[in-house]
Amino acid sequence: MAASASSPAADHTHTVRAELVEALAHTLQEPFDKLRANGYLFKAMKFSVRIPFVELLGFELQKFEGGEAEIAFKPSDDHLNSFDVVHGGASMTLLDVVMAHAARSVEPDMGCVTIEMKTSFMRAAKGPLLAKGKLLHRTATMAFTEGSIFDAAGKLCAHATGTFKFVARLPVGPGSTQAFNRISTD
C-alpha cells in the first residue's frame, strides 16, 4: 500500500529530503564562497572590441581598469585536451587576452598586438578559471605585462609575461573607409 501524504512514511520521506537539501546547500556554500572570493561571481562586462575567437571560447570580461584586467572562463568539453583538462592553447589564449586588456585598460582607444609571450604551466587547469592581468610598465608604443590563471580553489595554474605593441584603431562599420578592422603592425 502506498504511503499517504499524512502517513508516518510520507513524513519521514519529507524529513529526509529536507535534511538532504539542507546538507547539499551547506556542502555547496564553501565552494560558492571561494568562487565569490576569487572573483568568479561578478557580472560580466562587455568587451570593447569584437574578437570572434574570444566569443567562441566564451570568455567573460570582469575587470578592465587602471592597468588591470580579469577574465572568467568556464571551459566546456570542447576546450579540453586528451587528459580531460583545459587545453594549453585555450589557457595561452586566455593569458594573451587578459594581458592585452590590462595593457589597453590605461588607454582603451588604442589597440594592441602581441609581440612576445612566455608561459609557464604549474598545474592542470580544471573547472571555472579566472585570469588576472597586470600592466607592469609601458612606453609610448609598448606594454610589458603579466598574467595568471587561477582555478576555483584559487590555485595558480599558469603564469605568463607578455610584450604588446600599441596600435591605432581604424574606423569600422557603415560609413567607414575601411572594409575590415585591419591594423598596421609595422
Residue ranges covered by each domain of the chain? 1-37, 52-168
pLDDT at 94 over 90: yes
CB atoms within 10 A of CB 25: 10
Residue 184 has pLDDT above 80, yes or no: no
Paired with 80 in beta bridges are 86
At 18 the pLDDT is: 57
pTM over 0.75: no
Q: What are the φ and ψ backbone dihedral angles of 80, each rounded to 5 degrees?
A: -95, 160
- Out of 3.90.1150.10, 3.10.129.10, 3.90.1580.10, 3.90.226.10, select the CATH number for domain 52-168: 3.10.129.10
DSSP letters, 43-94, are PPBPPSS--HHHHHHT-EEEEEETTEEEEEE---GGGB-TTSSB-HHHHHHH
Predicted pLDDT at 38: 56
Under the banding of pLDDT at 50, 70 and 90, the label for residue 181 is low
Look at residue 26 in the predicted model and tell me its pLDDT: 57
What is the distance between the alpha carbons of residues 45 and 43, in angstroms, rounded to a whole number?
7
